[in-house]
Amino acid sequence: MFGPKIKIDRELYEQLRKCAQTAGYSSVDEFVLHVLEKEIDRISKGDADMDETKKRLEGLGYIS
């Protein structure tokens, strides 16, 4: 895999390695990518939920 690289503290990397191994991932990279993708989805969904809530409150006249 080529592209941007990030630096991770050695202690954190060891925790990631142990979690990846325990969870059955083939590598730390695979585990980290999966965790990041899940977090991005969670945050994006939260943004969508917030937009919907704002629209509802505007429709009800609570905010403008």
Question: What single-letter DSSP state applies at residue 61?
Answer: T
Comparing CA positions, the residue from 8, 51, 56 lying closest to residue 32 is: 8
In the predicted model, is pLDDT for residue 62 greater than 90?
A: no
Provide the domain count of the chain: 1
Burial 11-23 (b: 16+ CB within 10 A, else e): eeeeebeeebeee
47 domain residue, yes or no: yes
> Could you tell me the residue range of the domain that residue 56 belongs to?
28-64
Binning pLDDT at 50, 70 and 90, where does residue 58 land?
confident
16 domain residue, yes or no: no
55 domain residue, yes or no: yes
pLDDT, tens only, 8-57? 999 999 999 999 999 999 999 999 999 999 999 888 887 777 778 888 88
In sequence order, what are the residues at sequence separation of 6 or more whose Cβ sits closer than 8 angstroms to the Cβ of residue 56?
none
